[in-house]
Chains A and B, each alone.
Chain A
């Protein structure tokens, strides 16, 4: 039953460009998917490692800017993607080395500061980042000879990456290493006394989280064919964190649902309501009041209560 539902959901998602009319909505679906990947990456730290980050847009941006620069230098897409991911991992290692000197609020503040440094570089170091004007990318890649220029093709490519991301999360969560990471969240002292290297476990979780943030940043770059300081601003980090928290931390589907909510509100609601930010705020307040654990765990709880009451 569960497998059947999963299969049906995957098939419906795969067919999005076929049953949704108009490139506008297909593009929004693509955005939901790559923001989901970003939120899944952040969830590794926020949900499973218990380390709240406000600087992950920095990693997202490092990937996007690096790829844009490599492409601008006349190199191919493969070099751009590999170079971007390598530099993102390097940046993640550096960020982790700094931020993991603290936990709790200390960790939040250091990630916030690092994110702002990346933003400062994007905004001010004009010779590298072209400042406020951003960097354009002339074309999307054609992996295996398939052009991703059309919205539907780009959606399918993003969907394939999304599937790999969510599968990697499912495997990670069920693995011994996943249990190690959650242990450091719940009882760091005890984990240390049991023989776990708490710092190193957190460091590796940070890299894993940073990797998927970088992948999302690459998809963002190719989707917009443009990157500017807006992508690495504090609001971008906060928005991604809100996706994770509103959907449900430490769940597989929570970040996806949260990303869908935020992206939909941003794009669709703003077409009808001028003050769409107000609507989004009201929704977050409602989530905090009625489902403080997030939409996915909250919906499960409500469903259980409803079915238990019916009996």
Chain B
């Protein structure tokens, strides 16, 4: 079954056509890597898929359901979660509170104005579990502002994993990391269960090549090459984009 399908997706900002006409079909359980140089329209594509941006044309379906016009806030409820390339956490709050907020987002409890959040033991225990999964349980009570960049990157991923998504969108999870931190994050994303369909954007080809079975090369808002790892690497068009002739 197709988990995520994008058809003829278009988006321009003023006169700048950022997403020209993107077609994409990611199978359920697949691990897909979308690569492309700067300005290929990768992050815009994620923005469109998650509903943060409104497409000018085309459609997006999630497990067969057309979500093109579904509000962005509703999409995580349908099983779609994302991380941000530019780390977007709640800097004054602890790691535990960050992940708790992620869990709360899918719970009707988020509307409750009289309960005490601190007393929601089930929710908080669950958040702790997720932090353990990403190896940050020791820092659970530390504010985000007092953690390292690599740790924040893992919190980013924990926030998305906490929601137990069916489709997980990772926007350049290796950006700005040291070699060692990259290895940690790569290990983390490879331990994500196989039933989670994972789509990863990456700017640097070499980093995440081992992660995905299928790779899509995006260039100037269009899919240029798509195929298995070896097909894409061998394709002359990939080389042209990355090496410039």
B contact residues, total (Cβ < 8 Å): 39
A179 to B112, CA, bound (A): 10
Q: Is the CB of B92 within 8 A of A186?
A: yes
Q: Does B224 contact A (CB under 8 A)?
A: no
Contact B84 A190 (CB under 8 A): yes
Q: Closest residue to A174 on the B side, CB-wise?
A: B116
Q: CA–CA, A194 to B76, complex, Å?
A: 6
Does B114 lie within 8 Å of A183, measured CB to CB? no
The answer to whether the Cβ of A192 comes within 8 Å of any Cβ in the partner chain is yes
What total count of A-B pairs have CB within 8 Å?
Answer: 88
- Kindly identify, within residues 87 to 126 of chain B, every residue whose CB is under 8 Å from any CB belonging to chain A: 88-93, 97, 100-102, 104-107, 109-118, 120
Asked if B82 is an interface residue, CB under 8 A from chain A, the answer is yes
When the two chains form their complex, are residues B110 and A192 in contact, meaning their CB atoms are under 8 A apart? no
From A177, A179, A192, A208, give the contact of B52 (CB < 8 A): A192
Chain B residues with CB under 8 A of A190: 84, 88-90, 159
A196 to B159, CA, bound (A): 14
Nearest residue (CB) in B for A171 is B114
Q: Which of B50, B75, B82, B90 contacts A183 (CB 8 A)?
A: B90
- Beta-carbon contact of B90 and A186 below 8 Å: yes
Q: Does B72 contact A (CB under 8 A)?
A: yes
B-binding residues in A (CB < 8 A): 171-172, 174-180, 183, 186-187, 189-198, 208
A180-B111, A190-B84 known; 20 new pairs, CB 8 Å cut-off, are A175-B112, A177-B111, A178-B117, A179-B110, A187-B88, A187-B89, A187-B90, A190-B90, A192-B52, A192-B72, A193-B50, A193-B76, A193-B81, A194-B106, A195-B73, A195-B74, A196-B73, A196-B110, A197-B73, A198-B73
Partner-A contacts on B (CB < 8 A): 50, 52, 71-77, 81-82, 84, 88-93, 97, 100-102, 104-107, 109-118, 120, 159, 163
18 CB < 8 A contacts A-B: A171-B114, A174-B117, A175-B112, A175-B115, A176-B111, A177-B112, A177-B113, A179-B100, A179-B110, A186-B90, A186-B93, A187-B88, A187-B89, A190-B84, A192-B73, A193-B73, A195-B73, A196-B73
